[in-house]
């Protein structure tokens, strides 16, 4: 998506102020900031599903503060599907703020290991689900206990749920 197309899309999307759920399927954004701007343009967004959203630019050194402030306070649910590309899209998790309660990550490659610190930086999560393609299980699953330990230590005790779905229905509750 060119910068011009991106700007036109933002203008069109901002006219739909009642959008509460957004599903982005195989989109390419120039930068992480552009993706945050796009999500922020939906004034009432509660849930976003990012299915194989890629960034042209690599992971940012520092995310621009002005865009972080624009990420919606109403966003309570994020669903990610990570494929073979870089997973810097996960940087949105700590930017979502205290309203983020539900996080679901589906991974088809070994991406969780390098991003485990990103996943636990949102302190108000009540539900985390990891969906793992069976072929990736041996290289991925061993990183999840560390993520859960950091997350559960950071979260005040309440009715938290953590699920691990290896396409066999397994789940873990703290």
Distances (CA, A) of 18 to 9, 45, 78, 99, 155: 16, 8, 18, 18, 31
Which residues on neighbouring strands pair with residue 55, listed in sequence order?
29
Predicted TM-score (pTM) of this structure: 0.60
- What is the distance between the alpha carbons of residues 18 and 15, in angstroms, rounded to a whole number? 9
Sign (positive or negative) of CA dihedral 5, 11, 14, 16: negative
- What is the distance between the alpha carbons of residues 3 and 10, in angstroms, rounded to a whole number? 10
**Residue 82 near residue 52 (C-beta atoms within 8 A):** yes
Examine residue 29 and state whether it is found in any structural domain, yes or no.
yes
Examine residue 30 and state whether it is found in any structural domain, yes or no.
yes
- What is the distance between the alpha carbons of residues 133 and 1, in angstroms, rounded to a whole number? 29
Q: What is the pLDDT of residue 49?
A: 86
Block means of pLDDT (10 residues each) for the chain, 174 residues, are 69 75 80 78 82 67 50 77 61 72 69 52 64 52 53 48 44 38
Examine residue 18 and state whether it is found in any structural domain, yes or no.
yes
**Residue 107 near residue 130 (C-beta atoms within 8 A):** yes
**Residue 43 near residue 16 (C-beta atoms within 8 A):** no
Expressed as residue numbers, the domain containing 115 is 3-165
**Residue 13 near residue 38 (C-beta atoms within 8 A):** yes
Angle (CA) 50-52-56 rounded to 5° is 105
Examine residue 174 and state whether it is found in any structural domain, yes or no.
no
Examine residue 57 and state whether it is found in any structural domain, yes or no.
yes
Examine residue 137 and state whether it is found in any structural domain, yes or no.
yes
Examine residue 113 and state whether it is found in any structural domain, yes or no.
yes
Look up the CATH number of the domain holding residue 33: 3.80.10
**Residue 32 near residue 63 (C-beta atoms within 8 A):** yes
Examine residue 73 and state whether it is found in any structural domain, yes or no.
yes
Q: How many domains are contained in the chain?
A: 1
């Amino acid at each position: 998506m060119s910068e011009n197309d991106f700007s036109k899309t933002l203008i069109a999307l901002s006219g739909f102020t009642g959008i509460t759920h957004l599903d982005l399927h195989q989109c390419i954004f120039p930068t992480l900031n552009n993706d945050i701007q796009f999500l922020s343009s939906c004034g009432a967004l509660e849930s976003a599903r990012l299915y194989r959203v890629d960034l042209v630019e690599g992971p940012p050194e520092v995310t621009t503060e002005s865009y972080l402030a624009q990420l919606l306070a109403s966003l309570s649910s994020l669903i990610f599907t990570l494929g073979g590309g870089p997973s810097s899209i996960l940087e949105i998790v700590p930017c979502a703020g205290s309203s983020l309660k539900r996080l679901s990550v589906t991974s088809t490659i070994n991406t969780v290991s390098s991003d485990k610190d990103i996943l636990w930086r949102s302190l108000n999560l009540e539900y985390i689900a990891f969906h793992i393609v069976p072929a990736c299980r041996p290289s991925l699953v061993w990183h999840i206990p560390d993520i859960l330990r950091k997350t559960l230590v950071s979260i005040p005790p309440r009715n938290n749920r953590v699920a691990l779905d290896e396409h066999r229905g397994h789940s873990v509750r703290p």
